[in-house]
């Protein structure tokens, strides 16, 4: 069974940086995509960034492009999301997700989810 455990959320100032970690276990993830989604109160869950494990192909939402980097550590089976130049609108619960196959945007097509980590951005 795939397990995803997020860490690294918390309080950050606008303009600051934060690194989220997703520790993945239960599978060999070479044929998986791992992504980060976020959900703010009253809004739908949206993709932030994703990486296709075997090739390292990445995807970024326009809202974070240029100020976020997703990466993976094969030895640790961990995916990171480094976010910088944080904005107030980045405040949300961030979820790690995994699916077999290529990156897709729609959250309903992802199979496995972590429990989420809160990111709060203050002015």
List pLDDT tens digits, range 53-75.
999 999 999 999 999 999 999 99
pLDDT, residue 94, reads 98
∠ CA 57-62-65 to the nearest 5 degrees? Answer: 60
As given in the structure block, the two tokens for residue 27 are 């599978």
pLDDT, residue 55, reads 94
Residue with tokens 């904005």, as numbered in its chain: 87
**Rg of the Cα atoms in the chain:** 13
pLDDT, residue 28, reads 86
CA dist 3 → 14, 60, 77, 111, 121 (Å): 31, 23, 11, 11, 27
Among 28-32, 40-44, 107-111, 119-123, the range scoring the smallest mean pLDDT is 28-32
Give pLDDT tens digits for 28-50: 888 999 999 999 999 999 999 99
- Tell me the pLDDT band of 27, cut-offs 50, 70 and 90: confident
- Tell me the pLDDT band of 109, cut-offs 50, 70 and 90: very high
pLDDT, residue 56, reads 95
């Amino acid at each position: 069974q795939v397990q995803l455990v997020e860490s690294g959320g918390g309080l950050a100032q606008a303009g600051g940086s934060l690194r989220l970690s997703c520790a993945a276990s239960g599978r060999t993830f070479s044929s998986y995509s791992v992504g980060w989604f976020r959900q703010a109160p009253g809004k739908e869950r949206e993709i932030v960034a994703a990486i296709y494990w075997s090739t390292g192909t990445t995807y970024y939402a326009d809202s974070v492009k240029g100020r976020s980097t997703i990466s993976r550590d094969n030895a640790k089976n961990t995916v990171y999301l480094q976010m910088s130049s944080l904005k107030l609108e980045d405040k949300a619960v961030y979820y790690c997700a995994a699916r077999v196959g290529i990156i897709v945007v729609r959250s309903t097509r992802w199979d496995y989810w972590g429990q989420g980590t809160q990111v709060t951005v203050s002015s």
